[in-house]
Amino acid sequence: DIGDNVRGKDLYLGNTHESTQRIILENNLKTIFGHIYEELIKNGSNGQIEARYQDDDKKNFFKLREDWWTANRSTVWKAITCHAGESDKYFRKTCGGSGKTATQTPSQCRCTKTSGANADKVPTYFDYVPQYLR
């Protein structure tokens, strides 16, 4: 899952090749979030950025990655689903109400903006369920 990868919580268990790929991915993410961290510091934060992420001795940037995922989750979802066909369905009913009145998510797995409280929301919370329970 992309959220697990970004936040550094992907189990990615398997054969040696998969483990090697996970190490490569993790190193790339450290580099990317290292650049993001440096840009945040450059933009002047009066020490707030350093204070928020001070416990990261190994430069894994886990807290920054979690914050980034929280801020960008719906944008990533839109990017992933932007070319999904109209007949593509997502199994969780989230549009137009709650309980028995909810309908299947249409339009690239997002509710339309006119449908109410769940409008244009990411229709899954699996990225917050521990991976081994999914």
Integer Cα distance of 105 and 96 in angstroms: 9
Closest by Cα among 30, 66, 31, 37 to 54: 37
Q: Which helix (H) or strand (E) holds 94?
A: strand 93-95
Question: pLDDT value at position 3?
Answer: 78
| Among the ranges given (7-11, 12-16, 34-38, 70-74), the one the predictor scored with the smallest mean pLDDT | 12-16
pLDDT, tens only, 77-128: 777 776 666 565 544 555 565 556 666 555 555 555 655 555 555 555 555 6
- pTM value is 0.62
Residue with tokens 């509710």: 111
Q: What is the residue-averaged pLDDT of the chain?
A: 74
pLDDT score at 91: 47
Backbone angles phi, psi at 103, to 5 degrees: -120, 165
Whether 69 contacts 7, CB under 8 Å: yes
Please state, in angstroms and rounded to a whole number, the distance separating the CA atoms of residues 58 and 133: 28
Task: Kindly report the number of other CB atoms within 10 A of residue 134's CB atom.
Answer: 9
- Helical ranges in the chain per DSSP H: 2-7, 16-42, 48-52, 62-81
17-51 in b/e burial notation, b at 16+ Cβ within 10 A? eeeeebeeeeeebbeebeeebeebeeeeeeeebee
